[in-house]
Structure 1
Amino acid sequence: MIPVVAGAVMLATTGTLPVFMLTAQSVLVTDDLGLTDAQLGMLVTVFYTASALSSIPTGRAAERLGTGRASRLAAGLAAVSLVGISLRPTSPVMLAVFLVLGAVGNSMSQAASNLLLARGTPARRQGAAFGVKQSAVPLAAAIGGAAVPTVGVSLGWRWGFAGAAVLAVLVALLVPRVCSGAEAARSRTTSRDGARPRLVGLRPLLLLGTATAFGSAAMGSLMAYLVIWANHSGMTAGNAGLLLSVAGVGSIVARVSIGFVADRRAGNNMAVVIGHVLLGVVGLCLIGTGVVPLIVLGAVLTISISWAWPGLMLFTVVRTNPSSPAAATGVIQMGAYTGNAVGPGLFGVLLTLVAFQVGWLVNAGLLVMAALLMAWARRLRLVERRRPEEPPTV
């Protein structure tokens, strides 16, 4: 199990490296290429938009290709993207093209890693496995941040991307080797008559994807603007950055912990997801007060505790769709990428019209909408559970 989980984490981390390397080294990249801050923001939006548009197709493709070929293709696309960016594109359009390649690789890497965990880990350990895998996002951010002082400043940002490309190539060579066991288990998750796997509970799944978009928009805005708001409210820039870092580490711990607990709980996981989302509503309201101690409490509550829900959401969807886990989680990933692409930009526009406090309340409203959609999806699944031919709800 450990090699499979490690492979899934490496694969998921590799897929997000193009965008996190770009944002972490943004000062160096923009100075060298002559990009404006607005152009940089648009490039990040391009990455997440392309990831959203390709999530469902790559999920279905991963089902057909299998974990080995899908993981090799995903890491290969990430490597091409990173190499292309390291060659210093001469225009924002060229840079966007390489980011789109990386975005497709990112979608494929998420689908392949979810498929790898679904087929290569025991059902009784999948909650913990998905919790560990979802820690790949903050891990990629940490790698991107570490590249700045260790490589970017001394050798140049291009060498940071080149080093990340080497990591992607290693993943393309190593991860498929741990996929054989997962492929061998495929027969246990497909129908005996060889019928094509189908998505179970499509309407609830679409509702969950939409809920994820709302939740990701709120959290993406929080991660983008928390440091600025904390600094405006009286914290030093250093302490504000430290708050975000500590809360992010807490999120890793919470994602793993909630997964371990899920493996010991008999269903009802969606109710727990909804509870975590609602904790984020409370946290955003505390952040919106502008009082430093309450901002700290709200950040810990929202980022470290509430934001543990994505891993449990994926685990729930996989349990509901054992024959098509990559395609099912592709719907959820599409929602996540859509929220990440749209949320911070709209929040920035909102700040030009209203006060920061209003913006945080709007984000809290987005989380309320997410919770309501999740509750609706859960209700639909409870109704569909009465069909004996479908797997039990979670």
Structure 2
Amino acid sequence: MTTDGTGTDPRTRTGAGLSGAATQAVLATSGGLVAAFVTSALAPQLRGDLGLTAARLGVVVAVFFATSSLTAPLSGRLVDRMGSVRVMRAALLLAAACLSWIGFAVHDWGGLATVLACAGVANGAIQPAANRYIGRLIPPHHQGTAFGIKQSAIPAAMLIGGLAVPVAAYVADWRTVYVATAAAVGITAAAVRRPPPAQRAATISAPPPPSRKSAGSSAALIVLAIGWGLASAGSNALGSFFVLTAVQAGYSAATAGILAMAGALCSITARVVAGILADRQSGSGLSIVAAMSAAGAVGIALLATNQLWAYVAAILLGYGLGSGWGGLFSYAIVTSYPKRPGHATGITQAGASAGSCLGPLGFGLVAATGGYPAAWLATGGTLLAAVAMVLVGRRMLRSAEAPLRC
């Protein structure tokens, strides 16, 4: 029996290690993302006070994800030198400072964009730190579940953003919401802790599965990165503009926020369930990723009808399925490239960050010129293009390595 030096089998404590590490990662990642999603959810209130139009909201969200994408690869070496916990704490404190800055000192949309650029730096630093945190603590046969839980931080941040809408409408103004959120992120920074030595030692280093890579695998990785980028573009456009367009369609701001919260819960459920299923199956799961993206494309395209019922369908299909496969995709890349998971996920994360940046920006520009129906149709088409790229990448992987069963 393998022990961790304390006389016990580390497998007996896998559940505790999984829940603890995943919870810390979710809290930290949500804290890094919440500034962008609170801003998106409060867009109707910010429109009057800060002049935040649809196109400007796209620019603001794009700036956040652009600085995140630039910071994430540069933060990798810092994480390795300083440790995951120190970087997560420092980045969360920066995120809290940015939220406070918005609440107290921002008076126009240009200032909002500047502060969100700084908040994007914090988010970019948290991402590799949280990934390393999970990688060191979770054994391989539970990594699918762990990645699914960790990726639920994105809809969790949407959930917080949705909650901010009724609070701003009925309890306090939007500035108070930012300040209160800053306090919550600061508390999260204090709550993130280094796990005890026994728990760190419990991580099981299983040998990677056999793999015969060819030159085609690198091309497949690039294709899959493009696919994730296209899907991220569509998903982030939905998260950024759902509340604003729902209000335009006839929902009250509070009801639109509640719908966004329901969508976030659907997405969290989908991510965790997909991760659990990934741990129980031998294939890469990329075909499931493609199917979920296709369902999301249908849900988002229905918003072009501008009917109230379409927003409920978008919650189930667009939020729940269309953005619920992030953990499954990350797990698929790690298992498909066991000898170089850091390099592989770095490339795909670059694609996701680029899509997260360009999606809201593109939506805002299309909405400003052609209206919201055209923007939602274009967003649905983006997810369909992502389906095609994922299926092509899956086929290239199957051709490149015989042992992989996609």
TMscore range, shorter length: 0.7 to 0.9
Structure 1 position 79 matched with structure 2 position 108:
no
Structure 1 position 6 matched with structure 2 position 23:
yes
2:325 partner SS: helix
Deviation at 1:143, TM superposition (A): 2.5
1:152/1:159 contact within 8 Å kept: no
**Cα gap change, 1:331/1:74 in structure 2, threshold over 3 Å: closer, same or farther?**
farther
Deviation at 1:323, TM superposition (A): 6.3
The CA deviation string for residues 225-255 of structure 1, in whole angstroms up to 9 with x for no partner, is 5566667777777766554443332222111
Structure 1 position 303 matched with structure 2 position 324:
no
Q: Give 2:133's match in structure 1, choosing from 103, 116, 132.
A: 116
Taking the aligned partners of 1:290 and 1:144, their CA distance within structure 2 comes to: 22
2:12 matched to which residue of 1?
A: none
2:93/2:186 contact within 8 Å kept: yes
- Greater shift, 168-177 or 111-120, is seen at 168-177
The CA deviation string for residues 12-49 of structure 1, in whole angstroms up to 9 with x for no partner, is 111112223333445666666x4443555433221122
1:194 matched to which residue of 2?
A: none
1:59/1:330 contact within 8 Å kept: no
Taking the aligned partners of 2:21 and 2:233, their CA distance within structure 1 comes to: 31
Structure 1 position 98 matched with structure 2 position 115:
yes
Deviation at 1:181, TM superposition (A): 6.4
Taking the aligned partners of 1:340 and 1:88, their CA distance within structure 2 comes to: 27
1:308 partner SS: coil
**Matched positions, count:** 381
2:89 partner SS: helix
Structure 1 position 262 matched with structure 2 position 278:
yes
1:267 partner SS: coil
**Cα gap change, 1:96/1:368 in structure 2, threshold over 3 Å: closer, same or farther?**
closer
2:60 matched to which residue of 1?
A: 43
Unaligned runs of 5+ in 2: 1-17, 209-215
**Cα gap change, 1:78/1:355 in structure 2, threshold over 3 Å: closer, same or farther?**
closer
1:280 matched to which residue of 2?
A: 296
**Cα gap change, 1:221/1:82 in structure 2, threshold over 3 Å: closer, same or farther?**
closer
Q: Percent identity?
A: 30
**Cα gap change, 1:375/1:149 in structure 2, threshold over 3 Å: closer, same or farther?**
closer
TM-score by length of 1: 0.79
2:152/2:271 contact within 8 Å kept: yes
1:362 matched to which residue of 2?
A: 378
Residue 210 of structure 1 aligns with an amino acid whose one-letter code is I
2:289/2:325 contact within 8 Å kept: yes
Residue 111 of structure 1 aligns with an amino acid whose one-letter code is P
RMSD between aligned alpha carbons?
Answer: 3.8
**Cα gap change, 1:20/1:241 in structure 2, threshold over 3 Å: closer, same or farther?**
closer
Structure 1 position 217 matched with structure 2 position 233:
yes
Q: Give 1:316's match in structure 2, choosing from 286, 311, 332.
A: 332
**Cα gap change, 1:321/1:175 in structure 2, threshold over 3 Å: closer, same or farther?**
farther
Residue 120 of structure 1 aligns with an amino acid whose one-letter code is L
- Greater shift, 225-234 or 213-222, is seen at 225-234
**Cα gap change, 1:185/1:73 in structure 2, threshold over 3 Å: closer, same or farther?**
farther
Which runs of structure 2 are paired with 1:1-394 in the superposition (5 Å)? Answer: 1-26=18-43, 34-37=50-53, 39-59=56-76, 61-89=78-106, 95-147=112-164, 157-178=174-195, 184=201, 188=205, 201-226=217-242, 242-288=258-304, 293=309, 296-297=312-313, 299-322=315-338, 325=341, 328-354=344-370, 357-385=373-401
Taking the aligned partners of 1:81 and 1:12, their CA distance within structure 2 comes to: 16
Residue 226 of structure 2 aligns with an amino acid whose one-letter code is T
Residue 398 of structure 2 aligns with an amino acid whose one-letter code is L
